[in-house]
Every structure is written in structure tokens, then in C-alpha cells.
């Protein structure tokens, strides 16, 4: 008698709760925040295409706890100021889960708002260590850290026995962070750093820098930043006959660098997350992307896909839609995703994530370097 009464009471209260929440509560909104426009929009394309595919496939398989996922998309232009505006809009729209942002300098200020407002955030692309250093409960990522990527690049350069190395960065959070990590690794290995210098993002004239590199007689140049600047540096270096090998982080590894630098992009070294689209277990997923006419090979496509999946799996594991419960479930569980098995540490970083060194070619393809 008592149990059935309880059941009835629960049933009534649940239906009342559902009625009260209205129509929108029947869906789970997933915010996707990243650059749709602006100089790094091609990375945003990767992010949006990966996340959309995940949402589509999860819904096709019955959704999460019987509810459909709905994508809500926001453009932050990779600008810290706009990222804050976007974060506030997300709060107003009542979104509880965010896939994003992309650029570290956007993710950092936006994550303050998410943490305060109880919104769970998973960034598929921001690699700055500072994002997860602040003890936030609701901030996660599906990508490695600069502090992992920097040493991989530094170790590779050191292993080539260079005479002198120059480290250049764009003075932004991402670029300078990673460049510092590379410099420190090289210093530890006893490699001579001829130069450590910043440029201005958005600048077009690098002739003075190239002249300086030539004068310093370096054989390796590491650039921390994005492709619009490195593309021009490569091109102007080639015109000035600078004979040095260039290397950059995943922020330079996309086909747009070929349109800017042309032939000069041949032989550029890039640290990238491993090509998840090449893994045998992801074959059917890759095919799904190709059927849609999208390219799954970008570094952030499958990390975004995995981020959506983690939100879905987290909700199911927690058996709750409260972001704090989901965060706790993500920290304690172990999840299978296209980017491999994911386990989180206390900070919200993946316990293991590797970066691989690739050689970039002027036709936009890449080959792994051993």
C-alpha cells in the first residue's frame, strides 16, 4: 500500500515538474561555442561539424535518458570579449552544457562564467594549462595541454641535434604558453636558444624578423601561434632564402597555411593530436562524416565529437541532468570515445593524451615523423 502510494506521488510530482518546466525541458540543450567567423574560423568548422555529428548520431540512437539533444550554436570569433558575451547569452538561454570554446584566450574568461553559473563546459581544443589550474569543478577538456605538446616539440627538436634554435610566439595565451614550454624543454636538454621573441598577431610584415633569424644563423625555428602569421613568416623566409626548419603547434596545422605560404609550407613540422580518423575502430564514424560531405581529419573534429559523447555518457552515468552530478560522474568513470578511453583527473584534464610530430606538405597532406 505504502509503496504504491509513493509511486503515485512520485508519478504525479514528476508530471507536474515536467508540466511546469514546459516544452523546452523535453530536450537537452547542448551549447556549441566557437569561431564561426574570423581568422581561425576553419578550426571552428571542425568543432561544429564534430559536435553536430555526435548530436545527430546520439539522437538517432534514442537520445539521452529518452530525451533528444538540441544543438545551440554561438559564434565567439575567437575573441575574448565576444566569448564573455557568448557565455552570458548561454546563461540567459538556460543552456547547461557547453562544447567549447576553441581558443584558449576565449575559453579562459568564458569558463569563469560557466563555473559561477553551474554550466558544464568541455573544450575540444583549448590547450592552455591555466584553464584547468584554477580548481574549477565544471571545466573539462578532450584535448591535451600545452605543457604536454611543448615537451613533445622540444624533445623532437633536441633529438635532431640543432646548432641554434629560435623560439617565436604571437604574445597570446596559447602561443606564448606553448613557446615557453618548448623553450624550457630545449634549455633542459642543453640546446642553445638564439632568440625568444614575440610578434604581433595580425601583423603582415615579418621581413625584420626574418632578417634577424638569418643573422642569428638558426637551423630550427619554433613558432607558437596560429597559421595566418606562421604562413606569412614561412613565405617571407623563403623569399629571403632563410635556410631553417620551422615547427609549430596544432594551431598552424590546417590547409589554410598552404594557401598563404604555398610551396614554403612543405616540410613544416607540426605537433598534432594523433589522427583519430585513421584508427580502425572509427571507420564507420569516418564514413558517416564522408557521407555528409565533411572532412573528419581535422584535429578538433573528433575531439568535439567525443566532448558531446562525454556529456551524454556523463548524464547517463550520473542518472541526473544536474551539471554538478554529471561532472562528478565524469571524474569517477571511464568512457569509450573515438579519441580512445577517457578518464579524468581532479583538474578536469584527461589522464593521458598524446601528441605526435607530423611533417606538413604543400598539398595540405601530412605524414607522421618517427
- The footprint of another protein (CB under 8 A) covers 37-39, 41-42, 171, 197-200, 202-205, 207-209, 211-212, 214-215, 217, 227-228, 231-232, 235-236, 239-241, 256, 259-262
Nearer to another protein, 8 or 240 (CB): 240
Least distance to another protein, CB of residue 303, Å: 22
Least distance to another protein, CB of residue 344, Å: 34
> Which residue, 60, 62, 88, 61, is CA-closest to 74?
88
Q: Residue 208 and residue 23: Cα distance in Å, rounded?
A: 60
Least distance to another protein, CB of residue 217, Å: 6
Least distance to another protein, CB of residue 29, Å: 27
Least distance to another protein, CB of residue 171, Å: 7
Q: Residue 53 and residue 45: Cα distance in Å, rounded?
A: 12
> Which residue, 252, 285, 245, 248, is CA-closest to 267?
245
At residue 28, the 3 state secondary structure works out as strand
Nearer to another protein, 132 or 172 (CB): 172
Nearer to another protein, 159 or 239 (CB): 239
Nearer to another protein, 220 or 355 (CB): 220
Nearer to another protein, 85 or 352 (CB): 85
Q: Which long-range contacts (CB under 8 A, 24 or more apart) does 108-114 make?
A: 108/80, 108/173, 109/80, 109/83, 109/84, 110/33, 110/76, 110/83, 110/84, 110/86, 111/136, 111/139, 113/84, 113/87, 113/88, 114/87, 114/90, 114/138, 114/139
| ∠ Cα 233 236 239 (to 5°) | 150
* Phi, then psi, of 208 in degrees rounded to 5: -65, -40
Least distance to another protein, CB of residue 263, Å: 10
Nearer to another protein, 182 or 315 (CB): 182
Amino acid at each position: 500500500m505504502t509503496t504504491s502510494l509513493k509511486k503515485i506521488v512520485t508519478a504525479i510530482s514528476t508530471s507536474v515538474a515536467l508540466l511546469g518546466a514546459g516544452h523546452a525541458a523535453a530536450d537537452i540543450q547542448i551549447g556549441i561555442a566557437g569561431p564561426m567567423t574570423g581568422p581561425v574560423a576553419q578550426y571552428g568548422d571542425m568543432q561544429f561539424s564534430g559536435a553536430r555529428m555526435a548530436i545527430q548520431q546520439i539522437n538517432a540512437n534514442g537520445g539521452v535518458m529518452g530525451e533528444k539533444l538540441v544543438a545551440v550554436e554561438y559564434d565567439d570569433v575567437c575573441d575574448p570579449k565576444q566569448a564573455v558575451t557568448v557565455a552570458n547569452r548561454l546563461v540567459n538561454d538556460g543552456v547547461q552544457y557547453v562544447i567549447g570554446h576553441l581558443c584558449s584566450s576565449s575559453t579562459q574568461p568564458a569558463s569563469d562564467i560557466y563555473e559561477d553559473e553551474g554550466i558544464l563546459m568541455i573544450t575540444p581544443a583549448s590547450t592552455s594549462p591555466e584553464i584547468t589550474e584554477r580548481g574549477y569543478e565544471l571545466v573539462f577538456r578532450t584535448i591535451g595541454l600545452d605543457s604536454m605538446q611543448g615537451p613533445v616539440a622540444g624533445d623532437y627538436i633536441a633529438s635532431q641535434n640543432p646548432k641554434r634554435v629560435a623560439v617565436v610566439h604571437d604574445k597570446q595565451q596559447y602561443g606564448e604558453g606553448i613557446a615557453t614550454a618548448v623553450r624550457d624543454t630545449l634549455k633542459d636538454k642543453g640546446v642553445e636558444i638564439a632568440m625568444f621573441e614575440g610578434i604581433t598577431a595580425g601583423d603582415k610584415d615579418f621581413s625584420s624578423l626574418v632578417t634577424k633569424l638569418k643573422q642569428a644563423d638558426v637551423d630550427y625555428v619554433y613558432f607558437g601561434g596560429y597559421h595566418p602569421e606562421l604562413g606569412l613568416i614561412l613565405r617571407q623566409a623563403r623569399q629571403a632564402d632563410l635556410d631553417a626548419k620551422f615547427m609549430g603547434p596544432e594551431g598552424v596545422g590546417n590547409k589554410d597555411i598552404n594557401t598563404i605560404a604555398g610551396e614554403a609550407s612543405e616540410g613544416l613540422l607540426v605537433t598534432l593530436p594523433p589522427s583519430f580518423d585513421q584508427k580502425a575502430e572509427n571507420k564507420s564514424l569516418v564514413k558517416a562524416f564522408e557521407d555528409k560531405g565533411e572532412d573528419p581529419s581535422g584535429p578538433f573534429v573528433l575531439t568535439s565529437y567525443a566532448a558531446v559523447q562525454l556529456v551524454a555518457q556523463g548524464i547517463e552515468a550520473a542518472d541526473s541532468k544536474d551539471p554538478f552530478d554529471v561532472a562528478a560522474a565524469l571524474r569517477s568513470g571511464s568512457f569509450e570515445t573515438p579519441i580512445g578511453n577517457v578518464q579524468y583527473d581532479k583538474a578536469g584534464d584527461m589522464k593521458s593524451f598524446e601528441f605526435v610530430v607530423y611533417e606538413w606538405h604543400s598539398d595540405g597532406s601530412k605524414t607522421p615523423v618517427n
